[in-house]
Amino acid sequence: MSTTPVEPDMAPEQNEATAALLESREILPTIDPIEEVPVDLKAPELYINRELSHLQFNVRVLEQALDESYPLLERLMFLLIFSSNLDEFFEIRVADQLRQLKYGREAVGPDAMHPQKVLEKISEICAINVDRQYKILNDIMFPALAAENIRFIRRGEWTPAQRAWVKEYFEDQVLPVISPIGLDPSHPFPRLVNKSLNFIVGLDGKDAFGRETGMAIIPAPRSLPRLIRLPDELCESGDNLIFLSSIIHEFAEELFPGMKVDGCYQFRITRNADLSFDFEEIEDLARALRGELHSRKFGDAVRLEVDSRTPAELLGFLQAEFNLPDSHVYRVNGPVNLTRLMAVRDLVERPELRWKPFTPGMPNKFKNSDDVFTALRKNDQLLQHPFQSFSPVVDLLRQAAKDPQVVAIKQTLYRTGVNSDIVNALVEAARNGKEVTVVIELRARFDEESNLQLASRLQEAGCLVVYGVVGYKTHAKMMLVVRREGSELVRYSHLGTGNYHSGTARLYTDYSYMTADPEIGEDVHKIFQQLTGMGKIQKLQKLYNAPFTLHAKMLELMQNEIRNVKAGRKGHIIIKVNGLTEPKLIRGLYEASQAGVKVDLIIRGMCRLRPGLEGVSENIRVRSIIGRFLEHTRVYWFANEGGKPVVIGSSADWMERNMLNRVETGFELSGKHAERIRRELDYYLQDNTQAWELHSDGSYTLVQPETGEERFSAQQALLDELAT
């Protein structure tokens, strides 16, 4: 297969805008060129900057909007996901770089790139790709949607009847809740909420009190939808939508009676949304977290998005108010809050423009038996979501909640939801007299408030709720059910690579391993003891856990592959994770490559490793798969020639935080499960439609089929094989 930057096949009728944007798609962009490679495996030249690699993943997401093999509304969703991802990138990653500079605590990673240089490169890449995003929206998406009778109607296009309806909507729904703020000494610039839609208005004239300020701010109420559907009877056909911003623009003057509005311009501020704690000072984590959550809305400004037509005077005023330089300002040709356009999914009922629905498959063992315990006593089960159903995991908990023989349930929760099926089952179990212990990670980013509510609900039901270990996020995905069977207590375990969330189980690829293996049950029990109690590290029989044994095991398995090659055998490593940033693991992979071990890395997002460097990583190939589902599985495969391959599923990415600063689990798979994992990894290595290959200079190219080669998508192959 070819990895030259050849573009996807374009239909003959493809419009000029699409062709131009495809033509402008270069190798996604070079991060840092390499000239000479030193031998020292710690040399900064061997490492890609983490933040820039993270940003590049989002650029690859944006590129999906140009893939005409996807349904139209799904292409729009990729365009909007780019905005959502970029919001979080600025809220967390850019904010961290700025904080380092502000307090003089600059920290450099293995790439030795100074935060100031990182910020400059981020600004350069974001400026190019935000501009590209709006070109795709205006020149491709809107015309393509209009061709499908989905129209976003601008103010100048409203008919008299439509304008009359919009005016009534403004007076009934908008005017009662909107609060314009004239700027003067008694009305200073308001404290605007993170990522809220606002307008800056130029005013001419004096108000009732004789004030002549010249400017005002209109915060758009967060309670109002950003997209409004026009009544069908006012339109010729199709789905007709208008933006809330258009309504406010049109009737802004009514908010300032007797004054003239010289101009009304959208803007949006992004703030630092990370939460920081001094763990030595915290006595009650939940109470401290509740106190910090409110401040998230009003952190330091890190980005300003404004209407491209905003006059220099007003823009300069906003920059001064938020203390942001030009490099953190993005002038956009369209709505500043694109993420809110995702509401189109609920306003437009066009299934033919969405992904074709599917039914997740169900293994025969569960299909032919209503008793999950009986099925697991006979055979361990490995499920891959979303291609296979998440229901058996929920059913295990539901059955345990009702079964009088079940005496205890233990569960970790990271991102779940207050009213999920999992939580409902835990509540029922506690009310039925089971001993229910739940380890909730309160600090799951942007889910903190939901997790606090979740903790309260479980505690009220009688569950024992603990928050893990201070300083170490509990990211492990574990469930343990203890059941009395005759004179014995039998343990049933679930271990996963993803969260206990039925919604994401339909969107993320993840593995679930369900077993009645007593040794695994004992290991899971010991890890729960570490989380809820205190004591020394306990030796595990079949599991590996971070921060104690998982990292060391990976280094050991890499060294084993090196020894095999030196002994004349073949060496091969396949790693599929969401991020690869931990320096010792990267050096281990470099050493393996130098020894002649073949290394295949399937890294969805951040990757600090540079493949293809002569004398260092020429035996390493790195690819990223972007498709319908978010790749989330974490599996590690080591050939171990001369013995059986070592295959480990895990909750952990190969990142510092996962290996060294979180509670994670790794579970070894064997027999038919190991064979299945290898077969499915091969699908991802064969993918020639949704795979992006990383080069030594930090750029990515979309892999294309060779002449005469059939197109192959790993995700589609798994859908065809496992779903119905």
Q: Which residues are annotated as a binding site for Mg(2+)?
A: 415, 445
How far is 543 from 551, CA to CA, in rounded Å? 12
Tokens (6 digits) for 590: 């470099």
User: What pairing do the DSSP bridges indicate for beta strands 508-515 and 630-631?
Assistant: parallel
Task: DSSP letter for 616, please.
Answer: T
Tokens (6 digits) for 431: 């009310």
How far is 275 from 299, CA to CA, in rounded Å? 10
Task: DSSP letter for 488, please.
Answer: E
- Count H helices and E strands in the chain, helices first: 22, 27
Instruction: Give exposure, 102-112, as e/b (b: 16+ Cβ within 10 Å).
Output: eeeeeeebbbe
Distances (CA, A) of 460 to 238, 289, 340, 479: 49, 19, 35, 21
Residues 6+ apart with CB under 8 A from 46: 37, 38, 110, 586, 590, 610, 613, 616, 617
Start-to-end Cα distance in the chain: 30
- Chain centroid to CA 339: 14
Among residues 328, 475, 501, 695, the one annotated as catalytic is 475
User: Which residues sit in the known binding site?
Assistant: 85, 415, 445, 508, 604, 632
User: What pairing do the DSSP bridges indicate for beta strands 646-650 and 662-669?
Assistant: antiparallel
The count of other CB atoms within 10 Å of the CB of residue 720 is 11
Residues 6+ apart with CB under 8 A from 717: 683
DSSP-assigned states of every residue in 500-565: S-TTGGGTEEEEEEEE--HHHHHHHHHHHHHHHS--SPPPPSSEEEETTTHHHHHHHHHHHHHHHH
Distances (CA, A) of 292 to 91, 273, 298, 443, 476: 15, 10, 11, 11, 25
> Which residues does residue 700 pair with via DSSP β-bridges, in sequence order?
28, 694
How far is 110 from 48, CA to CA, in rounded Å? 8
Respond yes or no on whether the N-terminal peptide bond of residue 645 is cis (omega within 30° of 0). no
User: Does residue 501 carry a catalytic annotation?
Assistant: no
Tokens (6 digits) for 3: 């990895």
CB of 676 closer than 8 Å to CB of 513: no
Q: Residues 610-615: contacts with CB within 8 Å, 24+ apart?
A: 610/34, 610/46, 610/47, 610/48, 610/696, 610/698, 611/694, 611/695, 611/696, 612/695, 612/696, 613/34, 613/37, 613/46, 613/696, 614/37, 615/37, 615/39
Distances (CA, A) of 88 to 46, 129, 272, 452, 491: 27, 16, 9, 21, 40
User: Which residues sit in the known binding site for ATP?
Assistant: 85, 508, 604, 632
| Residues identified as active-site | 475
